Amino acid sequence: MKNTFSKIIVLPISALLLLLNANPATARDRLDRLDLELNAGSRVDRFDWTISGNIHGTDPDILSELSWDDLEIVEVNTKGRVIMINNQAPFGGIAKIRAGYGEIRSGENQDSDYQYDNRTNEWSRSNNQADDGSVFDFTSGIGLVFQSRNGTVLFSPLVGYSYHTQDLTIHDGYQTISRDNPFSTDPAEDPPPVGPLEGLGSTYDSTWNSGWIGIDLEIRPTRGFLLHGFVELHGAEYRAEANWNLRSDLAHPVSFEHESNDAAGFVAGFGTKFGGDRLLVNLDMLYQKWRAEDGIDVIYFADGSIGATRLNEVNWESFGVTAGLTVSF
């Protein structure tokens, strides 16, 4: 994993430098700017998914629904940006990287099962704590940069790659609805009785891999103050695996897996920097909205058999605010 991330970081910058030095006889490249950032802050996430009763998405259309709400996350992130200018061309080149890690400090989970379509006849529900787990985000991008004559406005179209994970937990649960399982006559497959769920400690680990296109905009009226923003549109693949620790009929440590090749994301950020020529204070906001659909839920049973049903959709939404410092060279 460490080697993989090292390659992801190095390759975009190397490609940019090679591009700008493709014709050294005529080009006069120079480093226009190198920015390094360190930030800390908090964000609030929401995450949910549903599966249906069969692979065709019916009987019922929503069999199970899991949601994680009000996930309060403390995070740190680092950013780097390189801008190269070629005085023989009307544009320069840009490469940027951002990576962040966060720990979940509070949150709630609900797990519901339904007998009929449109979330009717709910026969099982548990409400659980989700104040544990972690998140990770990595994005790299490369593109062109166009500057106004006085250098106060920068506009950059970019392409890039991103990788995001959510390692979610379910614990300290309470069964709030408990009725006979309408899909089985075996009493052992009925939900637990209403009350505390002793020993609950399930996990759900998700991954989003995506390519993206985007636009960066920066307005810098003085060296000590600037406004910046960006928008990214992502096409992604979604993967997840879960360990449902109280389900004796399921395998462990992998009870089921989710896969979808039909995922997309929207990411937007806005912020400001102010201070001196070289050291600036950052204030940033970041919003993300992701969705995966038309996937598959592969179920691994304790007896070695495998089943499958439809993964209807996965939704992830996040809003965060951070503050920190930028060193500009």
What is the residue whose two structure tokens read 């990214």?
Answer: 232
Amino acid symbol at 306:
I
The secondary structure of 36-87 as a DSSP string is EEEEEEEEEEEEEEEE-SSTTS-SSS-SEEEEEEEEEEEEEEEEEEEEEEET
pLDDT at 32: 84
Residues 146-181, buried b or exposed e (16+ Cβ, 10 A)?
A: ebeeeeeebebebebbbbbbbbbbbbbbebbebeeb
Is this model's pTM higher than 0.85 or not?
A: yes
Q: Average pLDDT by consecutive 10-residue portion of the chain (329 residues)?
A: 43 48 53 92 98 96 98 97 85 94 98 97 98 97 91 94 98 97 90 96 98 96 91 98 96 98 98 92 97 98 97 98 94
Task: State which CATH number among 1.10.10.60, 3.40.50.10300, 2.40.128.90, 2.40.160.10 fits the domain covering 2-328.
Answer: 2.40.128.90
- pLDDT for position 222: 85
Helix (H, G, I), strand (E, B) or coil at 4: helix
How far, in whole angstroms, is CA 80 from its chain's centroid? 19
